[in-house]
Amino acid sequence: MAKSLPGSPLLIHFCYSLSAEQPSNHAKSLQFRRQNSRKFRRSCENGEVSIQSGDAQAGLLPAEPCFLQVLLWIQFTLFREESVHLAVSTRSLWDQAFPAACLQVQELGFDKIEICFKDSSDQLKMSAVAADPEGHAMQLKDASRLSAVAVFVESEPDIPTFTGLVRYAQLLKVAQLTIESSPRGTPFNSEVDRLRERNAICHHAGIRMSILTRTGTLAEDPHTAVELCRAARGVGITLDPSYFICRPGGVVDFDVTLPHVLHVHLRDTSVTDLQVPAGLGEVDYGRIIAMLRQQNYNRSISVDLLPGTLQGDDRLRELRKLRLLLTSMM
């Protein structure tokens, strides 16, 4: 049944026969909607709009829909996909206790955080959290209304401690955990075995694991990072473009990593300084976000200021500036 709506140049095709094909399973239903979303976009490129929906009796559309109802259906049914979330890392407030850092993040206008662990940090001790993940998960819930979206394990814990941190992330309903790859010069096969072992622990908890593209590690080279992901199936990349800009030998193109990106760390960077005030560096936020969208990226991006750099009002201004800048682009 084809119908031209008054005042609209768009030709709307209602394919009611597809109602019988709509899957009942939630995951398959989501895949069905996305497949039809792609069909819709292709039809737009051809100059017409093709809507695949269930019949009117299913409640997706009335029997005689007005143009506004069609547009609402397009928005909420065809294009209902998760958006990119903006978070801030707790190590950005490296000199504050964890509860105080959470409150400060909330006052800055963020509602999501990435929780960072490092041996030398007193903010959250890895050994204490791993020993009592339930108690520390309640600490975050009691400290603020923030949602944890990612965990970053910057140090190299033993397997029992790592398992405890994964359990902590699981209790917080975190779906993303970042670790560092081994130092440059580590045998490739040894690193693959290490990543597989840790990824198996994360996979069992329903958490995605990724490696940070940090200078001095195997993942500092974008092609090596991709090869590690291919060898250790299920492992992704946490993209930190700063390390591809400020590095010995000059700027390196990192586009090859984008299909494997599961998480992103952002700050501004120059070719000589790993962190500079936003707007004074070389990080092209707009291009990065646009290219991630081409990969259908719908996860989190973390504002991540390096420990020991900014303090006091300067740090608060930088965090606000980056939040406003990135929010406007997302």
| Same domain? 164 vs 292 | yes
pLDDT at 35: 55
Looking at the structure, do residues 256 and 271 belong to the same domain, yes or no? yes
- Domain CATH code at residue 287: 3.20.20.150
Residues 130 and 267 in one domain: yes
d(CA 123, CA 114): 13
| Adjacent-strand bridge partners of 130 | none
The number of residues making up the chain comes to: 330
Q: Distance between CA atoms of 268 and 285, rounded to whole angstroms?
A: 9
Residue 127 and residue 29 in one domain: no
Residues 89 and 73 in one domain: no
- Rounded distance between C-alpha atoms, residue 53 and residue 66, angstroms: 15
**Tens-binned pLDDT, residue by residue, of the chain (330 aa):** 333 333 333 333 433 333 334 444 445 444 555 555 555 455 444 544 434 333 333 334 444 445 444 545 454 444 444 578 899 999 999 889 998 999 999 999 999 999 999 988 888 899 999 999 999 999 888 878 899 999 999 989 999 999 999 999 999 999 999 999 999 999 999 999 999 999 999 999 999 999 999 999 999 999 999 999 999 999 999 999 999 999 988 899 999 999 999 999 999 999 999 999 998 999 999 999 999 999 999 899 999 999 888 888 899 999 999 999 999 987
Between CA 294 and CA 302, with CA 300 as vertex, the angle to 5 degrees is 115
Domain check: are 54 and 94 in the same one?
A: no
CA angle, 188 then 190 then 191, to 5°: 65
Out of 32, 60, 78, a domain closes at 78
pLDDT at 18: 36
Distances (CA, A) of 224 to 72, 170, 184, 220, 288: 45, 29, 11, 8, 20
Extract the tokens encoding 79: 């294009």
Residue 103 shares a structural domain with residue 233? yes
Tokens of 303: 């504002």
Question: Shortest CA distance to 267 belongs to which of 252, 255, 278, 251?
Answer: 278
Strand order in the sheet with 49-51: 2-4, 11-14, 49-51
Domain span at residue 64 reads: 2-78
Same domain, 179 and 31: no
| Same domain as 248, residue 99 | yes
Asked if 114 and 236 sit in the same domain, the reply is: yes
Residue after which a domain boundary falls, among 49, 78, 107: 78
pLDDT of residue 82: 52
The residues near 101 (Cβ < 8 Å, ≥ 6 apart) are: 90, 93, 123
Residues 48, 97 within the same domain? no
Residue type (1 letter), 227: E
Q: Which of 59, 78, 97 is the last residue of a domain?
A: 78
- Give the whole-angstrom CA distance, residue 325 versus residue 330: 9
- Partnered with residue 237 across adjacent β-strands are 211, 261
Q: Total structural domains in the chain? A: 2
250 and 160 fall within a common domain: yes
